[in-house]
Amino acid sequence: MTTPLAYSVAIPRDAVKNASVGQAYRTKKSFVAIHFDSAGKGEIGFLPEGAILRVVGPSSCLCEGLEVVFEEQVYNIFKVDLFARCSQMFEPRPARSRAVAACA
């Protein structure tokens, strides 16, 4: 495998450079992903626009890649595709309840 001299897409400056495990992203447009079956054979497919992806870890098969889950299947994608073709989803966190005492 060769390393590209330059990427054909611009990575947004505000993109987080390290996608952490568990982060969710929504695709802004369709792009290529690779699904490996149990025998290790790779199949090229497309992740559709509007798909919700969850990062599960670094890719063991692609240099500069990540493993993501979409519809209960694991796909391998390049980091540049995640940062340029997806937007990070921020999930609401449950509010912590605090006891408030009133002074009289």
Q: Which domain holds residue 55?
A: 24-89
Residue 38 domain-assigned (yes or no): yes
Query: Residue 6 pLDDT more than 80?
Result: no
The answer to which of 17-21, 82-86, 98-102 has the lowest mean pLDDT is: 98-102
- Domain harbouring 74, CATH code: 2.30.30
Residue 44 in 3-state DSSP? strand
Number of domains in the chain: 1
> What confidence category does residue 20 fall into, taking pLDDT thresholds of 50, 70 and 90?
confident
Torsion angle defined by CA atoms of residues 22, 25, 30 and 33, in that order, rounded to the nearest 10 degrees: -20
CA separation for the pair 10, 76 (Å, rounded): 20
pTM of the model: 0.69
- Residue 54, Cβ density class (10 Å: 0-12 exposed, 13-18 middle, ≥19 buried): middle
Q: What pLDDT score was predicted for residue 102?
A: 63
CA separation for the pair 56, 58 (Å, rounded): 7
How do residues 31-79 score in pLDDT, each as one tens digit?
Answer: 999 999 888 899 999 999 999 999 999 988 888 899 999 999 999 999 9
